Amino acid sequence: MPKIKKHTGMKKRFQLTSSGKIKRKHAFKRHNLRKRTTKQKRHLTHSTLVHPSDAKRIQKVI
């Protein structure tokens, strides 16, 4: 069976932590920020972990 190619766009969007979990950034922080509250924008700044149900799928391509 052929090898699965790595997705270069996914490699740029996700990072592996030292414990092996996958880190991601929040969406909705690019434009139209006027309508969002300061609290919303502040919480979207920090990165978070990928949900375990998506982690297996992402792990294959990064």
Which one has a higher pLDDT value, 1 or 41? 41
Domain boundary assignment for the chain: 8-61
Is the model's pLDDT at 38 over the cut of 90? yes
Write the DSSP symbol of residue 37: -
Q: What is the mean pLDDT of residues 3-27?
A: 93
Residue 47: per-residue pLDDT: 95
d(CA 49, CA 58): 12
Cα–Cα distance for residue pair 61/9, rounded to 1 Å: 10
What number is the average pLDDT over the span 18-46?
96
> What pLDDT does 29 receive?
94
Q: What is the pLDDT of residue 4?
A: 80
Q: Which CATH architecture has domain 8-61?
A: Irregular (4.10)
